[in-house]
Structure 1
Amino acid sequence: MEPINQFLKNSKKIKDNNDKLYDSLIQHPRIIELIENSDFEITRSMIRNDLLQLKRYTEQSLACEKCSSLGECINHPQGYVPSIDVRGGRIHIIYSPCPTKIKDDAFREKEKMIESYHVPKDVKDATFETVFLDPDSNRQEIIKRAIGTSKKIIEGIDTKGLYIHGSFGIGKSYLLGCIANELKDQSVSSIIVYVPEIIRDLKAGFKDGTTDKKFNTIKNAQVLMLDDLGAEDVTPWVRDEIITGILHHRMVEGLPTFVSSNYSIEELEYRYSRTKENGIEETKARRMTERLRALCEEVQLEGSNYRNN
């Protein structure tokens, strides 16, 4: 058992510390402002009863003034600012998201508006402001159409997407990224899919049972962008079950769809009508391209091969 004289000494030390803390708190600008502006009466006894709560309140940042970024937030929990609430004659701290966290959360939420499968970062980050306007290209004309189409989607107006075709390396994929970011800025989500790789993913999914989930995610995207359609190995399963399946669902549901390809739709139909397994199947290929035409306006992008420059 603690000796009585030691107990008295410790009690006096605690009281002295509390008195010092009380004196410093009632002179602290933040506590003075709190007392003057609070909707509740804050008495001296209330301050004495909740010294540690008020000390914590004075030590934290209220409007990110002590923090340079969310990662360097001094508060605990990080990203939240304290405010004082009085209930039952006691002082309580409540926490709300700080201005920096609110901005960061909004940014992260916007970032989730674009989901991508095997798409390069420069495509995912592309914007119309960063597009190179080659005078020898019709890129400016295509951009105007892309912006107009994006605007209709943002406003909820039924519209066809674009089927952008042209030779290698002229920026077809980049334009899809521009459209996706234009939509993202207005909180419209999209999925960009690099077709050859997602076909491999769907095949691999048969082993772990993920094929249906991936397929349904893609076909039900708010806005879908199929990048490099026609570059994949053409098989009856790819044509009839995957590509036609996606296009048919989106046509029936009226979901905006964009496509990039090295082939015109007519050339694509010829390519998809021939498979090693079944030979020539023009009707099945036409079934696919009819859905493409129902979903997209075909435009040809012209210009130089920028990958080789």
Structure 2
Amino acid sequence: METLGELLSQMKSSQLRQRSEELAARLMNDPLVWELRDSHPELEQQQLTRGMAKLYQYVNDRRHCENCPGLENCPNDFPGHYTKLTVEQLGGKPELVDLQVPCGKQLQYEREVSVKKRIHSFYVDERALETGYDEVEIMMKDNQRAPAVTKVFSYINEVREQGLKPSGLYLEGHFGTGKTFLMCYLLHELAKEGHSGAIVYMPEFVEELKSMLQDSDKLRDTVEMMKQVDLLIFDDIGAENLNPWARDHVLGSILNYRMNRKPTFYTSNYSLNALEKHLSFTSKDGEEAHKGQRLMDRIAPFVEVVQVRGTNKRGRS
């Protein structure tokens, strides 16, 4: 859409006065301008004429918004924003003042960007963290997992009402029952409340740690971030091939810091007892029961176990 100045500059000088008068008359008779005049009877014709460019932009933006084509195709000069007019006393006289204000779609987009910035994902499909969750659909998709969904919903509401607590959830269940999805939902909902979070797919994270041995700065920053985020999720714990260093110096360090401080969450196919046996064994040193127990002392007391039952949904649309 052309600006008022562009329209006027395109007119031949002989037509300028007549065309500008027609444009001004049409603008002054626009219902939006009449609405503004009714709200501010102190405005005189002189102020309206002087602010005609602002009025023109105001009317055009409002018309575009009434027929909004979506944020990506916003035709306004400042996409995602519209012109808002206020009246202020300047030099003892009322004057039109224009402001560029974000629309509802722009505000929603900014909120979504803000949420995504609070969430770190390590080797987890980013699609699981996208917006568009439907609580009714989550609850009704599989009646067998309804108790687990209710517990996750309850946890989210408790944090909203009471703030973060040091204990998390341990989602135990078979493959494909939606454990990761529920944790992504929890992470997304609490990120909207301002909490930072990270979700870590354990099998690939443990493999990636091997390459981080050659990059001490990346290793240090990664471990420190996992210590400090408000919400940390270890996804599919028990499916990784542990080595003593990853177990004792990385995972152990993170959990040792977070216990009694910040909540840690887990998804697993193992029960807590079976996970302890898994953590007691490494490919290098074999079984070391005391080291598995030491790690479990930093997990079991700080989680509530939630059984996630249901049918395998992997591979379904």
How far has the Cα of 1:258 moved from its partner? 1.3
Give 1:51 deviation, angstroms. 3.2
Partner of 1:146: 152
* Residue aligning to 2:34: 32
Which segment drifts farther, 238-247 or 20-29?
20-29
Cα distance in 2 for partners of 1:48, 1:299 equals: 68
Instruction: Report the CA distance shift for 1:33/1:239 in structure 2 as closer, same or farther (over 3 A).
Output: same
Q: Distance in 2 between matches of 1:11 and 1:196?
A: 74
Report if aligned partners of 1:191, 1:225 keep a CA contact under 8 Å in 2.
yes
Contact 2:169/2:305 (<8 A) preserved? yes
TM-score by length of 2: 0.77
46-55 or 179-188, which deviates more: 179-188
Contact 2:167 2:260 in 1 (8 A): no
Answer yes or no: is 1:161 the counterpart of 2:163. no
Match of 2:295 among 288, 300, 303: 288
- How big is the shift at 1:226? 0.9
Matches within 5 A, 1:177-216: 177-184=184-191, 188-207=195-214, 209-216=217-224
Assess, with a 3 A threshold, how the Cα gap between structure 1 residues 156 and 190 changes in structure 2: closer, same or farther: farther
Partner of 1:19: 21
d(CA) in 1 for partners of 2:84 and 2:54? 11
CA distance in structure 1 between the partners assigned to 2:21 and 2:104 by the alignment = 35
Q: Which residue of 2 aligns with 1:298?
A: 305
Q: Which has the larger radius of gyration?
A: 1
- Per-residue displacement from partner, 1:281-306 (whole Å, max 9, x unpaired)? 33222211110012212344455544
| Distance in 1 separating the partners of 2:210 and 2:315 | 33
Partner of 1:54 in structure 2?
Answer: 55
Q: Structure 2: give runs of 5+ residues left out of the alignment.
A: 1-11
Distance in 2 separating the partners of 1:175 and 1:83: 41
The number of aligned residues is 295
**Higher alpha-carbon deviation: 59-68 or 189-198:** 59-68
**Alignment check: 8 A CA contact 2:61 2:76 kept:** yes
2:121 partner letter: S
The answer to which of 29-38 and 124-133 deviates more is 124-133
Find out whether 1:264 has 2:265 as its counterpart. no
- Alignment partner, residue 123 of structure 2: 118
Q: Which of 76, 90, 96 is residue 101 of structure 2 equivalent to?
A: 96
1:37 aligned partner, one-letter code? S
What is the CA–CA distance in structure 1 between the aligned matches of 2:283 and 2:271, rounded to whole Å?
22
Alignment CA distance shift 1:121-1:249 (3 Å): same
TM-score, normalized by length of structure 1? Answer: 0.78
User: Could you tell which deviates more after superposition, 185-194 or 283-292?
Assistant: 185-194
| Contact 2:232 2:263 (8 Å CA) reproduced | yes
Deviation, 1:194, is 1.0
Amino acid corresponding to residue 247 of structure 1 in structure 2: L
How far apart, in 1, do the equivalents of 2:143 and 2:32 lie?
58
1:178 Cα deviation from its structure 2 partner: 4.1
Change (3 A) 1:33 1:212: same
Q: CA deviation at 1:195?
A: 1.3
* Stretch of structure 1 that moved more, 221-230 or 199-208: 199-208
Q: Would the aligned equivalents of 2:64 and 2:75 in 1 still touch at CA under 8 Å?
A: no
SS at match of 1:78: coil
* 1:30-58 superposed Cα distances (whole Å, 9 cap, x missing partner): 2233233227x333333343433332222
Q: Does 1:222 align with 2:230?
A: yes
Q: Which position in structure 2 is the counterpart of 1:231?
A: 239
Taking a change above 3 Å as real, the CA distance of residues 182 and 30 of structure 1, as seen in their structure-2 partners, is closer
- Mapped to 2, the partners of 1:14 and 1:302 lie a distance apart of 75
Counterparts of 1:71 and 1:27 in 2: how far apart (Å)? Answer: 31
- Aligned to 2:284, the other structure's residue is in SS state coil
Q: CA deviation at 1:70?
A: 1.7
| 1:282–1:192 CA distance, 2 compared to 1 (3 A) | same
Report the CA distance shift for 1:172/1:51 in structure 2 as closer, same or farther (over 3 A). closer
CA distance in structure 1 between the aligned counterparts of 2:158 and 2:24, rounded to whole angstroms = 62
Q: CA RMSD in A?
A: 3.3
